Each structure stands twice: as structure tokens, then as C-alpha cells.
Amino acid sequence: MIIESNRLILRNWKDEDINDLVEGLNNINVSKWMAGVPFPYTENDAKNFIEYTKTLDSKSKISLAIVLKENNKVIGGTEITNINTKDGTAGGGIWLNEEYQKNGYGTEAFSMKIKYAFDVLGLRRMENGYFPGNDKSERMQLKLGFKNEGIRRKKFLCLATNEYVDECITGLLKEEFVEFNVK
């Protein structure tokens, strides 16, 4: 699968992405905001993750690398998870290598993913969340039209910090989506 804009490509993970994956996730400033990512994040973790993504059934979960076109570098990842075509819903988050944050890449990639979920998969609602204190994630989601819907107390064990963390729940209806200016 390939989703493309002027600056980015969202595509399936490849074996050659291992080094970029480790570079991006072996950073506590990134991994602390994700439940399932250990810190330190090793080459073996990256290999196992990429192998896992090859087994996914795209009817229920899609995992994509975020690639910067100008240098073909993987700068992050995003997923569409818990795809439920009956109810028209799905979830899924995003992460970005800290070196590539504050350039609009995360918002652009997340918008591309949401547009794909609504327009191609025919979904009507996206569900997401963020850990308290992750202001960048909250701002990005609100910018795209997500609404805060509640808090799941101590929902996840964050592998990077070994602490149970709350999840601030967000939701986005198709008609609320504010598409980021992606070309």
C-alpha cells in the first residue's frame, strides 16, 4: 500500500527500515508516549516489529512507515487499528522521530491516514488517544477535528517507563475532519 503527498509517502514497512526505526524509537522522548514500545529500543525489537507487520490482515490493522520523499528516510510510523467495517470505526496512532518534529510532518501523515480511512475504507469515525502531558499529540488531533471524549484511567502499561498511564480518549467523525493541506 502507498499513500502519497508532496513531501511524504506512507507505505508498508520493509526490512531495510530497521536502522531508521531504531533511530526514531530509541529515544525516551518518543517512546514514553507509546504503550507498546520499550526503551531502549533495539535492532532486534525493530526486526521483530517489521516481521510482525508482514503478518497483519489489512482488513483489521494497517501499519505504515512515514517516509520523507526528499531523502527516502523513514521518519515515523502510523497505524489504522481495530478496523470495524460493520460499525465504520477504527483507531490508530502515530509517532515521529524527534529530529523531524515541528515541521508539520506528523499532522500531514496523520491527515493522510485519516483521509484514507474515510475515503478508501469507507469508515465514519476514527478513535485515538494520547497520554496526559503529550501536548503535541493533543494539539495535532484537535487541529484535525478530533474531540476529547474522556479518560481511561491507568489504561496502559508503558513499556518505556514501566508505569501505568492514563489515556485521554479522542474521537473524530467523518463530517468533523479538518483535512490538513496535503497535496
Q: Is residue 155 part of a domain?
A: yes
- What pLDDT sits at residue 159? 97
Q: Render pLDDT for 105-156 as a digit per residue (tens, 0 to 9).
A: 999 999 999 999 999 999 999 999 999 999 999 999 999 999 999 999 999 9
Parent domain of 109: 2-176
Rounded CA separation 54/49 (Å): 9
163 belongs to a structural domain: yes
Query: Which sign, positive or negative, has the C-alpha torsion 35, 89, 168, 142?
Result: positive
Tally of domains in the chain:
1
In the three-class reduction of DSSP (H, G, I as helix; E, B as strand; rest coil), residue 126 is classed as strand
Give a yes or no: residue 13 inside a domain: yes
CATH of the domain at 131: 3.40.630.30
Residue 181 has a pLDDT of 62
Residue 119 located in a structural domain: yes
Residue 183 counted as domain residue: no
Q: What is the pTM of this model?
A: 0.94
Residue (of 92, 174, 178, 99) closest to 137 by Cα position: 92
pLDDT tens by residue, 35-73: 999 999 999 999 999 999 999 888 899 999 999 999 999
Please list, in sequence order, all residues whose beta carbon lies within 8 angstroms of the beta carbon of residue 158, skipping any fewer than 6 positions away.
32, 34, 35, 131, 164, 165
For the record, the C-alpha cell of 165 comes out as 498511564
- Count of beta carbons in the 10 Å neighbourhood of residue 181: 10
**Residue 182 domain-assigned (yes or no):** no
Residue found under cell 482488513:
59
Q: Please give the sequence-ordered ranges of beta strands (E in DSSP) within the chain, or none if there are none.
A: 2-4, 8-11, 62-68, 73-84, 89-91, 94-96, 125-130, 147-158, 163-173
* Spatial separation of the C-alpha atoms in residues 85 and 123, rounded to whole Å: 7
Amino acid at 106: G
DSSP state at residue 173: E
The percent of residues above 90 in pLDDT, for the chain, comes to 93
8 within domain boundaries: yes
Question: How many CB atoms sit inside 10 A of residue 7's CB?
Answer: 16
Is residue 123 one of the residues assigned to a domain? yes
